[in-house]
Each structure stands twice: as C-alpha cells, then as structure tokens.
Amino acid sequence: MELPDPDSVPRREFCKAAVALGGAAGLSACLGRGDGSVEDGVDGGPLDGVPAGDSDGAPVRQHAWNDALDRDEAGNVVPPVHHVLRYANIDRGDASRAESRNRLEAAFADLERAFERSAAGLLFTAGYSPSYFDRLSGTLPESVDLPAPRSLTGLEDPALDETDVLVHLAGDDPAAVLAADEALFGAATAANGVAVTDASDLFEPVDRRTGFLGPGLPRERRDVDGIPDDAPIPEGAPLFMGFANGFAASQATEDRVTIGTGPFAGGTTQQVSTIRTQLDAWWSQESHAQRVAKLFSPTHADEERVGEHGERLGSDPGVADLPEDAVAYAREEGVVGHAQKAARARENGEPRLLRRDFPTTDGDHTGIHFLTLQESIGDFVAVRDAMTGADIADETAVGSRVNNGILQYLFVRSRGNFLVPPRELRALPDANPRQDR
Ligand code: HEM
C-alpha cells in the first residue's frame, strides 16, 4: 500500500494510513520523518505526549482493559483508536523453551515499562491458538474450551487462522502502536525511549491486520471499495454502517468472560472473524429507517429510538426488552434486527461476549475485524448461531440473508480462536502449566 501525500490529507488520516503500512517506514512517516530515515523513526527516543509505564501492579488479566480506558458521558467504555493484529508462528531455533519464554516475557515487560497501560500509552494481549497447544506435550485442561476454528454458517467458507500466536496492540497514538509493533516484531531495539529486549527472532510473522475505531474515521476512509465514495456516514459514527456499537448494557463484563478455574484462571478466550463488508446497497438502497430496523430492530425504527447514529441510546440499545419470540416477531415485521437476534443468546439476561471489534480498510476494502472475548469458544458459537438466525429463516419469510439483520452485507473471510492466558503465563505457555512446569 502507498501512503497519501501528507500535505493533501489531514494528519489524522495520514497516520491511520501509516499504521496500516506499518514497519519502520510507517513509523517514520507517522513521526513526520517523510525522508524515510528508518533509524530515526525506530529508535528516536520518547514519543511526544506518550506516557511511559510501569510493569509493577499490572492486573492478572491481560484483557483487563476497561479500567484503563475512559468512559463517555453515558458511561460506555471508549475503546482505543488504532489497532494492529499480528499473527505469527513461533520459531525458537536452537533456544530452549525456558530461555525463549524468559526472553519473550522480558520483551512484554519492557513494553509495559515503555508505555503507560492506557489508551494514551499502549494496551496489548498475547493469545495462543489450538494448533500451538497441539504441538506441545500435554493437553489443555478441561477448564479451557478452545476448539480449532471452523466455518460456523452455511453462508461462508473462511480461511482458518491457525498461526501459533496473535498479538493485539492498541492505543490512541498511532506512533505508540507502531513503535511497539516494531520493537516486538521488527528491528527496533527501543520504544518510547525505553530499551526493549529483542525477541523478534522467535516470531515468524504470517499476517498483519489493522483497523481503527472512532467517530468520523469511517467517513474519512469511504474512498475504498465496498462503500460509495459519497456514503452519508454521520460524522459521529465509528462504524462504516453509520452507527455506534459497544453500548455498556450489550457488552459482557470482564468478569463474565474470564476463565474462573484451573491453571488458566484469569485468562479468557479470543476469537477473531475477519469480515469484509459490501455496503453499496446499504447506503444507496436502504433508508435510515431500514438501516435502523436491520441493525437494531423494526421497533427501534418505528419508535425512532436510535437517532442519527446511536446518540439517543445512552448506554443501553434496549434490545433485550423486545418480544422474546423473534420468530413470531420476524413473521409479523418481515425484517429482524441484528442486535435483537444476537441478544437472544444472553444468559440470565447478561451478554456473553465482550466485543472489541474495529473497522478496517485492509486491502483497500471496508471490513471489520470482529474480535470478541468470552469465557469459552462455545459461548461465541452460541451467540453467532443466534445472530445467524437460521431458525428465523427456516420458519418465516425472512431470508437466510435478506431482511435477516445485516447478514447480506457481511462476508466472513477468516476465523481464528486463541487463548489469552493470565499475564504470568502470557509468554509461550505450556498446555497444562501446573502439571508441565
Ligand atoms: C459488520 C459487522 C457488525 C456490525 C456493524 C455490528 C454492529 C452492531 C451494533 C450497532 C450493535 C448494537 C449495539 C451495541 O453494539 O452495543 C450490535 C450488537 C451485537 N452484535 Fe453486532 N455487529 C456486527 C457483527 C457481529 C457479529 C459477527 C456478531 C457475532 C456474534 C455480533 C454480535 C453482536 C452481539 C452479541 C450484540 C449485542 C446483543 C445484546 O445486546 O445482547 N455482531 N452489533
């Protein structure tokens, strides 16, 4: 990919492109060093306005991000803006597991010293796939539900992401995310002015995916494929579909998604579906009311509950107070909403998924990296089944795609499942640490 001319686009848009480009070149560009002076960009000392951190006192849970993030006026967690997903295999070469583990842990701890654990600094998790654990002696304990990824609907034929490790890096400052990425996977020996232990030789990078989440950002990037160039995405909308998501009442708590027992207690499971969105018809054929009906519910559209992009919803999209029988509802309305369908999978009224998804323009096409945390992958499968709504399609005139929420606009490209261990096991964990260590 090529960077836009820095003089012709807003700084924020330029840096978003730099995150997608990545590497020393992306970092140099983002720091305003358009001369491509790699060393400057990589080892250039403290970054402007990016607070340093402290690895002492970090929580047990790698995924405990909510306390480190701000809330908006309604009390919803404000997610970090820039995201990088690094898929890699592990190659220890001749090094022992213990030596490799210590070196990787040192690199992670150095990153925590380099960056405050916050959106202004850096948040990250390291997760490991079923195929990583399959190669080790011993098996995962029963308290961990981590099957291999597979196709989950009749409408998809996804690639399966089976690399050993997935590192998720996130922060508001693009330079911070890029500097951490370069220190962990690239040639940089320091980040934000702090030396970082070199563990890059342990990784064989396989894929790098990127995205962004914030009001106005999709509108700035509607020049890609998958959406009309003049799509009237509201300024305040963080999603290409023109709305906000992640309302507090529709999100699982971090407690709900945390594994409670066994050696991985304090960890969680992570699934990432990489989804392409094709939004030409969404924007050129649907009215605002139809978009609201398909994303939330027809009741939301009739009662004008949502507003332009979700600003009327506060912290609760109110999808749990709709008639429980979605099949009867769909028969009556001829349309069923996405969030309304997904909410059928709540357990005791509580959402099971903590969604940390973010839009992307990887491949110069609109999409979403649908990253979720849940206690077990079974939780994800149950929610995805509810969202797919095959029962609704079978029993009503609502199609398997058309008028069935937003399915007709989504194309699942890949799926991956990972275990995000508690922090003390985040570097090359054994399959059953209590037994194997
Ligand atoms: C382009 C893709 C998607 C978009 C734009 C989207 C958007 C939304 C929006 C706007 C909401 C309502 C408010 C909120 O987030 O708090 C929602 C809710 C939800 N979505 Fe999606 N979504 C997408 C894909 C998915 C997928 C693939 C799943 C898979 C399971 C999913 C599961 C859920 C769940 C569980 C809820 C909350 C339901 C509840 O309140 O219990 N979404 N989504």
Collapsing DSSP states into helix, strand and coil, what is residue 275? Answer: strand
DSSP state of 334: S
pLDDT one-digit tens code per residue, 364-405: 999 999 999 999 999 999 999 999 999 998 888 888 889 999
Specify the residue with its C-alpha closest to ligand 1, atom 15: 245
DSSP state of 60: S
Handedness of CA 226, 307, 120, 269 (dihedral sign): negative
Specify the residue with its C-alpha closest to ligand 1, atom 17: 339
DSSP state of 136: S
Average pLDDT score over the chain: 93
Ligand 1 atom at shortest distance from the alpha carbon of 247: 16
Please state the separation of Cα 4 from the chain's center in Å: 25
Quote the CA–CA distance of 148 and 260 in Å, as a whole number.
21
Quote the CA–CA distance of 191 and 294 in Å, as a whole number.
44
| Residue 361 contacts residue 220 (beta carbons within 8 Å) | no
Specify the residue with its C-alpha closest to ligand 1, atom 25: 370
**Residues near ligand 1 (Cβ within 6 A):** 239, 241, 243, 245-247, 250, 273, 275, 277, 295, 317, 319, 338-339, 342-343, 346, 351, 353, 368, 370, 383-384, 387, 410
Best residue among 283, 355, 372, 406 to mutate for probing ligand 1's pocket (most ligand atoms within 8 Å of CB) is: 355
Averaged over successive runs of 10 residues, the pLDDT of the chain (437 residues) comes to: 81 85 86 54 75 91 98 98 98 91 98 97 98 94 98 96 98 96 94 96 97 97 97 98 98 98 97 98 97 96 97 96 82 93 95 98 97 98 96 88 95 98 97 73
Q: Which residues of 219-242 are buried (b: 16+ CB within 10 A; e: fewer)?
A: bbbbebebbeeebebbebbbbbbb
Which residue type does 61 have?
Answer: R
Name the β-bridge partners of 89.
Answer: 204
Alpha-carbon Rg of the chain, whole angstroms? Answer: 22
Q: 12: which 2 tokens?
A: 């924020």
- Could you tell me which of 210, 197, 241, 201 has the C-alpha nearest to residue 409? 241
Q: Vertex 250, ends 177 and 308: CA angle to 5°?
A: 80
Collapsing DSSP states into helix, strand and coil, what is residue 214? Answer: coil
Q: Could you tell me which residues come within 8 angstroms of residue 75 by beta carbon, excluding any fewer than 6 positions away?
A: 248, 314, 315
Length of the chain: 437
Best residue among 275, 370, 408 to mutate for probing ligand 1's pocket (most ligand atoms within 8 Å of CB) is: 370
The Å distance, Cα 40 to ligand 1 centre, comes to 41
Q: Is 242 left (phi over 0), alpha (psi -120 to 50) or beta?
A: left
Quote the CA–CA distance of 133 and 124 in Å, as a whole number.
21
Q: Is 113 left (phi over 0), alpha (psi -120 to 50) or beta?
A: alpha
Whole-number pLDDT of residue 38: 44
Whole-number pLDDT of residue 36: 46
Best residue among 338, 361, 379, 415 to mutate for probing ligand 1's pocket (most ligand atoms within 8 Å of CB) is: 338
pLDDT one-digit tens code per residue, 62-121: 999 999 999 999 999 999 999 999 999 999 888 898 999 999 999 999 999 999 999 999
